[in-house]
Amino acid sequence: MSNFFSKSDLTRQDADKLVSETLNNCDDGELYLEESKSESILLDDNKIKSSNYSSDLGFGFRAISNEVVAYSYSNEISKDSLKNSSENLKSTLKSIKGTYNHEIPKSNKKFYEEINPIEQKTLDSKLEVLNKVNDFLRKKDVSVKQVTASFAGEQKSIEIIRSGGEALTDVRPLIRFNVSVMLEKNGRKETGVYGIGGRQSYDEYLKNDNWKNVCEEAYRIASVNLESKPAPAGEMKVVLGPGWPAILIHEAIGHGLEGDFNRKRTSAFHNLMGEKVASEGVTIVDDGTIDNRRGSLTIDDEGTPTERTVLIENGILKNFMQDRHNARLMNTRSTGSGRRENYRHIVLPRMRNTMMLSGNQAQDEMIKSVDKGIFAVSFGGGQVDITSGKFVFNCTEAYEINNGKIGSPIKGATLIGDGPSILKEVSMVGNDMMLDPGIGTCGKAGQGVPVGVAQPSILIDKMTVGGTKL
Amino acid sequence: MVKDQEFLKSKASYCLDLAKKMGATDASVSVGHSISETVNFRNKSLEASDRSDGLALSIETYLGKKRSSISSSNLLDENIKTLIEKCFETTKITPEDEFNSLPDKNLLAKQIKSLDLYDETRFENDKKIKYLKDLEESASLDKQIINTESSFTVNKSNFILANSDGFCDGYKKSSFSASCVTVAKDENSMERDYEFSSKRHLSDIEEATDLGNKAAKQTIRKLSPNKIGSEKISIIFDKRISKGMLNVFANAISASAIARGTSFLKDKINQQVFAKSINVIDKPDIIKGMGSQNFDSEGVNSNKLQLIENGILKNYLVDTYNGKKLNLKSNGRSGGTTNLYFENGIISYEDLMKKNSRSLYITETIGHGSNLVTGDYSVGATGFLVEHGEFKYPVNEITIAGNFKDMFKNIILANDLEFEYSVNSPTMMIEGMTVAGK
């Protein structure tokens, strides 16, 4: 755990005093202290292209009264700097008074260990794995023309000091290992990308030569795409594979169920609480409590323990995801979903691990039932317009389905749909729920946070596929 | 106040001296300070205020052809010392790379000319509040507007870039940005749109009422959209989308993508890649330009560069490392383009709109559907159906798709270029793309 006051003229007592004095007449707020250490090591084009280490330290001071949020941050932890911030907050909120809510739930559960993954594996051994990846892939096939492999690791320590001196702390490890391979054959080039990661040590993910499986998967995707034909254009049936394709859920309905957009009534879902928004049999949860997952958090960035929030139960909209600010204004409680990229950013309600739970159908039944459509196995990323509800995601591995059989691979295409209605088009839910491999980053208002997704195979009766073939 | 040149220089030379003392053969360092103040409004009242004050340091140390880097926001001497030690230790065990080096000395910027990138005007929060009040008043005049959110940000920054070959320079920059997002609703739909203005100087910022009006108008016209059928149709890209084509092009001609072989424009130098009428220019010395710079992120002097001349690819964007791989000199584009633009076409906006009896006008795209390796393009889109030069009705939940290699050769540009941002394009038409809808 970091001691944020050891190298500063600011003592813990000074900080407590200033926080209490600043937030006294506010509804909520806190001093958020953060220290992060991170590294990235990249092999590219047959060489170790870069090795970067970064350390970051700073605080964000937040005061909230009524609907107004005042925020000030600095990377100088000192008496002067904190005083300046305090003055800033006071001047913004001078005419708005509130009553501080001291209540914050507690939990002793931790969902990951307080390790520093960077220190747990030597640089030499990381370089060795990257070089092995490069050799392995280039020896595998002469059509391998480019290999990129990388390690990214970080340890983030946070301390939240609330008015009255209550302090909440967390130490969060996070790693990611990624391989990208480009193949060139008969004048065509295609890439395949695969990665793994989570909140444990590098070696936990690399044991049993698991790096080879990552290479094989990236290679497999690139090989499939070398044979791909132009994708069809128009509305058709879509079968989604299990695991990572759940970014559909993340984009289509996840963002629309975040508290802020619903408080402001700018989400297409704001007036649908208690209504049927999905087919029967569709249950979706957002869960911050799965051990060692990329999207898991022991406490969120306001200090609230995370939980498993049921968003949609058997087709009915049950809950939004809330941080303290939006929860207070909507007369409900925080779901432990208050997150920020780092101390430079304000807290927003965000997703953690968003999952559609298993049903009881088999994937091959779904495929057999489709006359003409596509089977989408892997995706690049997605995006949503919260207000209109329209969302997209991009296939990186997909196949035609003709007369109940999987046909040729098709080129990467964007799929577009309407969030509030897409889940009503889900006609089959598979029995094969899978978590993604631990690679997701969600962007909102310029802030990226690590997230996870999961789902079983599903059949969607109607979706628009953005190919070029009419 | 943003830290002055002297403070930043003293930190930079402290780092360089220390790296040298530890045995680094070369080193480069950049130190920056930035202060930014934002006020957010929602539905005509204050929603948030945000002040940030941040220092940033990054150092690269070399041992011959070995290199590694560190970055930090903590500029205390003691911390810097620990980090440089760590950086240099890492450098020692990092494998050699023959292309690693500081930039050629004779390419470094020598004279810094003033590009008027800094406006020291203070624009206090109460003035921002007044601006946003006016803006939201005008944005919410129409009853169909049910939500307005706006913000005003002032950013002031200063930096120093220095290396062990004696380069040491930097300058102040400012930006003033106002933006507005509006939501409109009718019985059939709820839609969102936006408008923004971002300038180096406060006096150049768009009038608050104009900004609010535009955002509202652009949102209301999207209400009650239709989905159209799947077809081949000519597509008109609004300026805010057409400039995105330039970003794709710039990424595809970065020396890094070319050297790695992962660009659909590899080996296309001196070949026709755009329609013959197309010229693309990157100009670093536009006065008050949002992308203007005196030198790139390595200190290399940057001059005006013609990237596309009559449709022919003339230059890549070259930095030192990838330049060495390609046997090319850096042209001062480490960090990318500066002020990038298409030169005007010869046809007016009105004539472009009327060129086909039926076309699709795109105002927004969503998704990350640009593949730089293959050139394949497929994104979600929102816009309007145009018939005989007139907007007929709004369209959404469609995708547009094609391949950049073909799209670039079919571009027709209007003559309505304006220098608003760091990347600028006239309105654009591309014929023969595929729309997927119903």
A78 occurs within a structural domain: no
Question: Are A306 and A451 in the same domain?
Answer: yes
Contact B380 A418 (CB under 8 A): no
Contact B87 A53 (CB under 8 A): yes
Locate the chain A residue with the closest alpha carbon to B67.
Answer: A50
Residues lower than pLDDT 70 in chain B: none
Contact A190 B79 (CB under 8 A): no
Question: Are A282 and A323 in the same domain?
Answer: yes
Residue range(s) occupied by CATH 3.30.2290.10 in chain B: 5-220
Question: Are A287 and A401 in the same domain?
Answer: yes
Q: How far apart are CA A154 and CA A169, in angstroms?
A: 17
Question: Are A259 and A148 in the same domain?
Answer: no
A-chain CB neighbours of B47 within 8 Å are 67-69
Q: How far apart are CA A329 and CA A346, in angstroms?
A: 17
A-chain CB neighbours of B67 within 8 Å are 50
> A425-443: per-residue pLDDT in tens?
999 999 999 999 999 999 9
Locate the chain A residue with the closest alpha carbon to B432.
Answer: A468
Contact A384 B70 (CB under 8 A): no
Q: Look at chain A and report how many structural domains it folds into.
A: 2
What pTM was estimated for this model as a whole?
0.93
Helical ranges in A152-209 per DSSP H: 202-206
Domain of residue A138, CATH code: 3.30.2290.10
Degrees (nearest 5) of the Cα angle B331, B333, B335? 160
B-chain CB neighbours of A238 within 8 Å are none
Domain boundary among A177, A194, A226: A226
Question: Are A221 and A278 in the same domain?
Answer: no
Question: Are A294 and A429 in the same domain?
Answer: yes
Question: Are A153 and A242 in the same domain?
Answer: no
Enumerate residues 6 to 25 of chain B having a beta carbon within 8 A of any beta carbon in chain A: none
Residues 6+ apart with CB under 8 A from A149: A42, A43, A44, A129, A130, A133, A134, A177, A178, A179, A180
For residue A320, the enclosing domain spans 233-466
Domain boundary among A210, A226, A242: A226
Look up tokens 């389905």; give the residue: A401
> B207-251: per-residue pLDDT in tens?
999 999 999 999 999 999 999 999 999 999 999 999 999 999 999
Query: Which amino acid, one-letter code, is at B225?
Result: P
Locate the chain B residue with the closest alpha carbon to A344.
Answer: B52
pLDDT, position A412:
86
**What pairing do the DSSP bridges indicate for beta strands B280-282 and B172-185?**
unpaired
Calculate how close chain A gets to B231, using CA atoms only, in Å. 7
CB atoms within 10 A of CB B1: 8
- Read off the DSSP letter of residue B218: H
A103 occurs within a structural domain: no
A79 occurs within a structural domain: no
Choose, out of B52, B63, B334, B377, the residue to mutate when testing the contact with A (most A CBs < 10 Å). Answer: B52
pLDDT, position A426:
96
Homologous superfamily, domain B5-220: PmbA/TldD superfamily (3.30.2290.10)
Question: Are A309 and A220 in the same domain?
Answer: no
CB atoms within 10 A of CB B325: 18
A317 occurs within a structural domain: yes
- How far lies B406's CA from each of A454, B217, B275, B377, B409, in Å? 38, 34, 10, 11, 5
A215 occurs within a structural domain: yes
Residues 6+ apart with CB under 8 A from A196: A176, A177, A205, A210, A214, A437, A438, A439
Question: Are A216 and A302 in the same domain?
Answer: no
> B141-169: per-residue pLDDT in tens?
999 999 999 999 999 999 999 999 999 99
pLDDT, position A94:
86
Q: CB-CB: which of A50, A344, A391 is closest to B54?
A: A344
A28 occurs within a structural domain: no
Residue contacts between A and B (CB atoms, under 8 Å): 242
Q: CB-CB: which of B50, B376, B399 is closest to A416?
A: B399
Residues lower than pLDDT 70 in chain A: 1
CB-based contact (8 Å) between B92 and chain A? no
pLDDT, position A202:
97
Question: Are A322 and A365 in the same domain?
Answer: yes
**What pairing do the DSSP bridges indicate for beta strands A47-65 and B66-72?**
parallel
A49-53 — which CB contacts under 8 Å span 24+ positions? A49/B97, A50/B67, A50/B68, A50/B69, A51/A123, A51/B68, A51/B69, A51/B90, A51/B94, A52/B68, A52/B69, A52/B70, A52/B71, A53/A118, A53/B68, A53/B69, A53/B70, A53/B71, A53/B83, A53/B86, A53/B87, A53/B90
Contact A383 B231 (CB under 8 A): no
Domain boundary among A226, A251, A266: A226
A436 occurs within a structural domain: yes
Asked whether the beta carbons of B139 and B147 are under 8 A apart, the reply is no
- Read off the DSSP letter of residue A470: -
pLDDT, position A1:
64
A259-263 — which CB contacts under 8 Å span 24+ positions? A259/A320, A259/A321, A259/A322, A259/A323, A259/A326, A259/A327, A259/A330, A259/A337, A259/A349, A260/A323, A260/A326, A260/A348, A260/A349, A261/A386, A262/A320, A262/A326, A262/A330, A263/A326, A263/A329, A263/A330
Question: Are A375 and A431 in the same domain?
Answer: yes
Question: Are A265 and A178 in the same domain?
Answer: no
HSE of A241, CA atoms in CB hemisphere, 13 A = 15
